[in-house]
A and B are shown apart, each in its own frame.
Chain A
Amino acid sequence: MSDGEHRGPKGLGFDTLSLHAGQVPDPTTGARATPIYQSAAFVFPDSDVAVGLFNLERAGHVYSRLSNPTNAVLEERMAALDHGVGSIVTASGQAAIHLAITTLLSAGDHIVASRSLYGGTHNLFQYTLSRFGISTTFVDPRDFDAFTQAIQPNTKVIFGEVLGNPGLEVLDIPQLSKLAHDHGLPLMIDATFVTPYLCRPIDLGADIVVHSATKFLSGHGVVVGGVVVDGGTFDWRGKEKFPTLSQPYEGFHDLVFAEEFGPLAFITRARREGIRDFGACMAPMTAFQILQGLETLPLRMQRHVANALEVAKYLEGHDMVESVSYPGLESHPDYALAQTMLPKGAGAVFSFELKGGRAAGRTFIESLDIFSHLANVGDAKSLVIHPASTTHHRMDEASLLASGIGPGLVRLSIGLEDPVDLIADLKKGLRGVEKSLRKPS
């Protein structure tokens, strides 16, 4: 398609979709809020409809492991926000990655992944999936030659995070998408740190997006959940490399998903196999609570990134800070890319290296009052963690350094508090470090 002068109608804006997508007032009761359909199963009006629902002839709900009306609102809203054809919500972000990977890959297959990943994803790829015959090669997310060289005949997907964890490398999605597609591979992106408000990977060339909905999407930190969004952009038809989509599926009477479902092939297979058989579904109450968070996502993300930039600038100018890794700062190597890919802000999670190493990290964290020391990000409240001793503790020293994690590295997730108070709290922590370093050893 060309870029001439023609103008088509614009879709609804992000803020409107955050509030409305996927839901209209309940036609029976008039309820404006999304009802919580706390029901395990749904009645069939007659036997033919029942068969039709099982045989994918009809739209509707059968059993809440497969789909649920409350979950469906969240799924459709996430698909709308991410510009995908559909989505599935899952029990956790890890379940979302597992569902997406196992929908495509089988024993003997291979993943090429950025090495700057959430520790849980690293564990899944490095240790757990390998037990089931799926191997992974990890590469520097900035090294596109390494991505190319790592591709094997059995590679089925390229995987990365928009913002690497914990180094905050900005993944060049348009370039990586081209590389993946040139090799006939889909690109799968974890967009947890950015949410669709800051970045829509599908618009940049990704094919499948996963989120931990526990984080910014919810914002309140009271539930655990995940989302898989299918861009519907990858054409699986006739590609022997992807037999789960292009070949008859014995588990569904030899259905060929890519042939029958067109752009909905991936998400349909994921629902009809992965959620059906692995069963890592979301509870409807959880979907309802995530929907409450999504309603204010645009407002929260604006405040998150504004606070993050202010705090990052403060830390960058402090004597006790060796370095700050935040793509919103000009000092970050991916600053220019972030300006292009993340024009609304470079997220609200970043890391910095304290002078004084591991001991300084511990002193700093234990001196803080407002920041909570815990293993999560994306809460409305500000959070802090020391990756080397928590999220990434299973990695050996060499792997840690390869992932850009130094002994004094501290990761912050900047919340919605008054930034003056956040900076005062950090100042207190840094003063504690300074004092501890002055003490004679």
Chain B
Amino acid sequence: MILQLNGEQVYYGTGSGHWKKDAKSIVFVHGAGFDHSIWVMPARYFARHGFNVIALDLPGHGQSSGALLTSIDAMADWVAQVIGAVADDANAKATVIGHSMGSLIAMNMAGRHKATVKQIALLGTSAPMSVTNLLLDAAKDNHHAAIDMTNTWSHSQRSIMGSSDNPGVSNIHAGERWLERAGESVLYTDLAACNAFDAAELPSVECPALVITGGDDKMTPAQAGIAVAQMLPNAHVANLPSCGHSMLTEQPNQVLDALSGFILS
């Protein structure tokens, strides 16, 4: 779906669903360098289960136009604005689910846009979310090594070898293509925003939260995700053993089970 907001195009996937005025809404926010299509399976699941799905392309990502946003604050403000615009209701409320950088946006929204956020699910998260200079420098130069680092470190050893749950799909090469689709400076801008995120500056988060961790996550190790859950007053953790940071492609069914358990209950 395409929406015009502040003179720019906002693209969001609906999981093949149709907007229903009285239905609950779920917003999916992608990670650094990605777009909405990484959420295809949960988007389709929750659309079928009657939710309004808004799987966003952040500005300058996928099919959304506009300048890249350079801070998690700005991204959170933008997502909150989009929720109101899609629902045509400034008081609209949604569950916000984010992966990696998207988890920081969800967390930020839960603190700074309390009226908009019903609950949050944080996949592959940590706070702070430090990014090594090696990766930042390569990304700043738009060098393919930045994609190689991000992609390789985002997959568990098992996933690098293969044995995808999704028949016939090479997750490691799919991840590479997703990142290659991002425009110039996208990955760097996103990673820099993650690196600068400071959870200590956030107002307290009060809504229910689910933190999904991957046992083999090298980007945001499971311990870091557990630490985030401990910062939140009403959070519980679902750990996916042997799963890397790219949990949406590595263990899509387990992610879906964790999300559906949290949201449908």
Q: Closest B residue to A227 by CB, please name it.
A: B168
Given contacts A57-B42, A254-B16, are A76 and B37 in contact (CB under 8 A)? no
- Residues of B in contact (CB 8 Å), total 50
Chain B contacts for A75, CB-based, 8 A: 167-168
Say yes or no: is A9 at the interface (Cβ < 8 Å to chain B).
yes
**Contact: A21 with B162, CB < 8 Å?**
yes
Chain A contacts for B148, CB-based, 8 A: 8-10
Q: Is the interface of A mostly helix, strand, loop or mixed?
A: loop
**Contact: B37 with A86, CB < 8 Å?**
no
Given contacts A6-B137, A77-B162, are A56 and B41 in contact (CB under 8 A)? yes
**Contact: B152 with A11, CB < 8 Å?**
yes
Say yes or no: is B258 at the interface (Cβ < 8 Å to chain A).
no
- How many Å lie between the Cα of A66 and that of B172 in the bound state? 22
- How many Å lie between the Cα of A51 and that of B160 in the bound state? 29
Chain A contacts for B252, CB-based, 8 A: 58-59
Chain B contacts for A2, CB-based, 8 A: 141-143
Chain B contacts for A253, CB-based, 8 A: 16
B113 to chain A, nearest CB (A): 27
B28 to chain A, nearest CB (A): 12
- How many Å lie between the Cα of A227 and that of B252 in the bound state? 25
Chain B contacts for A6, CB-based, 8 A: 134, 137-138, 141, 143, 145-146
- How many Å lie between the Cα of A10 and that of B42 in the bound state? 31
**Contact: B44 with A267, CB < 8 Å?**
no
Chain B contacts for A23, CB-based, 8 A: 161-163
Chain B contacts for A59, CB-based, 8 A: 41, 164-167, 252-253
**Contact: B145 with A8, CB < 8 Å?**
yes
Chain A contacts for B138, CB-based, 8 A: 6, 8
Interface flags for B31-51 (1: CB within 8 Å of A; 0: not) read 000010110111111001000
Say yes or no: is B153 at the interface (Cβ < 8 Å to chain A).
yes
**Contact: A255 with B16, CB < 8 Å?**
yes
B139 to chain A, nearest CB (A): 9
- How many Å lie between the Cα of A68 and that of B42 in the bound state? 23
Counting chain A CB atoms within 10 Å of each CB, the highest count among B13, B41, B177, B178 belongs to B177
Chain B contacts for A12, CB-based, 8 A: 160-161
- How many Å lie between the Cα of A71 and that of B169 in the bound state? 12
B44 to chain A, nearest CB (A): 5
- How many Å lie between the Cα of A8 and that of B170 in the bound state? 19
- How many Å lie between the Cα of A79 and that of B42 in the bound state? 25
- How many Å lie between the Cα of A71 and that of B167 in the bound state? 8
**Contact: B142 with A1, CB < 8 Å?**
yes
Chain A contacts for B180, CB-based, 8 A: 233
**Contact: B168 with A86, CB < 8 Å?**
yes
**Contact: A263 with B16, CB < 8 Å?**
no
**Contact: B44 with A8, CB < 8 Å?**
no
Counting chain A CB atoms within 10 Å of each CB, the highest count among B38, B143, B146, B152 belongs to B143
- How many Å lie between the Cα of A12 and that of B35 in the bound state? 27
- How many Å lie between the Cα of A72 and that of B181 in the bound state? 26
Say yes or no: is B67 at the interface (Cβ < 8 Å to chain A).
no
- Residues of A in contact (CB 8 Å), total 61
**Contact: B173 with A79, CB < 8 Å?**
yes
For B169, give its contact among A3, A86, A238 (CB under 8 Å).
Answer: A86
B150 to chain A, nearest CB (A): 9
Say yes or no: is B72 at the interface (Cβ < 8 Å to chain A).
no
Counting chain B CB atoms within 10 Å of each CB, the highest count among A11, A61, A76, A79 belongs to A76
- How many Å lie between the Cα of A374 and that of B164 in the bound state? 38
For B174, give its contact among A10, A52, A86 (CB under 8 Å).
Answer: A86
**Contact: A57 with B44, CB < 8 Å?**
yes
Chain A contacts for B69, CB-based, 8 A: none
Say yes or no: is B63 at the interface (Cβ < 8 Å to chain A).
yes
For A260, give its contact among B16, B142, B167, B168 (CB under 8 Å).
Answer: B16
B168 to chain A, nearest CB (A): 3
Counting chain A CB atoms within 10 Å of each CB, the highest count among B153, B164, B167, B178 belongs to B167
Residues of A56-110 at the interface with B, using a CB-CB cut-off of 8 Å, are 56-61, 66-69, 71-73, 75-77, 79-80, 83-89
Say yes or no: is A33 at the interface (Cβ < 8 Å to chain B).
no
For B145, give its contact among A7, A11, A57, A262 (CB under 8 Å).
Answer: A7
Residues of B231-250 at the interface with A, using a CB-CB cut-off of 8 Å, are none
- How many Å lie between the Cα of A56 and that of B165 in the bound state? 12
**Contact: B168 with A79, CB < 8 Å?**
yes
**Contact: A8 with B168, CB < 8 Å?**
no
- How many Å lie between the Cα of A71 and that of B164 in the bound state? 12
**Contact: A76 with B169, CB < 8 Å?**
yes
Chain B contacts for A440, CB-based, 8 A: none
Given contacts A1-B143, A85-B169, A238-B63, are A260 and B13 in contact (CB under 8 A)? yes
For A60, give its contact among B45, B48, B165, B170 (CB under 8 Å).
Answer: B165
Say yes or no: is A22 at the interface (Cβ < 8 Å to chain B).
yes
**Contact: B48 with A85, CB < 8 Å?**
no
- How many Å lie between the Cα of A360 and that of B187 in the bound state? 63
A411 to chain B, nearest CB (A): 33
Say yes or no: is A220 at the interface (Cβ < 8 Å to chain B).
no
A34 to chain B, nearest CB (A): 10
Given contacts A8-B148, A75-B167, A76-B168, are A260 and B143 in contact (CB under 8 A)? no
Say yes or no: is B90 at the interface (Cβ < 8 Å to chain A).
no
A217 to chain B, nearest CB (A): 16
Say yes or no: is A235 at the interface (Cβ < 8 Å to chain B).
yes
- How many Å lie between the Cα of A254 and that of B1 in the bound state? 13
**Contact: B165 with A9, CB < 8 Å?**
no
Chain B contacts for A3, CB-based, 8 A: 143
Q: Closest B residue to A27 by CB, please name it.
A: B163
Given contacts A21-B161, A86-B174, are A4 and B168 in contact (CB under 8 A)? no
Known A-B contacts: A67-B167, A262-B178. Give 9 more (CB < 8 A): A8-B148, A12-B161, A21-B161, A59-B253, A60-B253, A72-B167, A86-B169, A253-B16, A262-B35
Which A positions have Cβ atoms within 8 angstroms of B?
1-4, 6-12, 20-24, 51-52, 55-61, 66-69, 71-73, 75-77, 79-80, 83-89, 231-233, 235, 237-238, 253-255, 259-264, 267, 271
Which B positions have Cβ atoms within 8 angstroms of A?
13, 15-16, 35, 37-38, 40-45, 48, 63, 134, 137-138, 141-149, 152-153, 158, 160-170, 172-174, 177-178, 180-181, 252-253, 256
List 8 tightest A-B contacts by C-beta distance, closest first: A8-B148, A262-B37, A75-B168, A8-B145, A67-B167, A6-B145, A263-B177, A79-B170
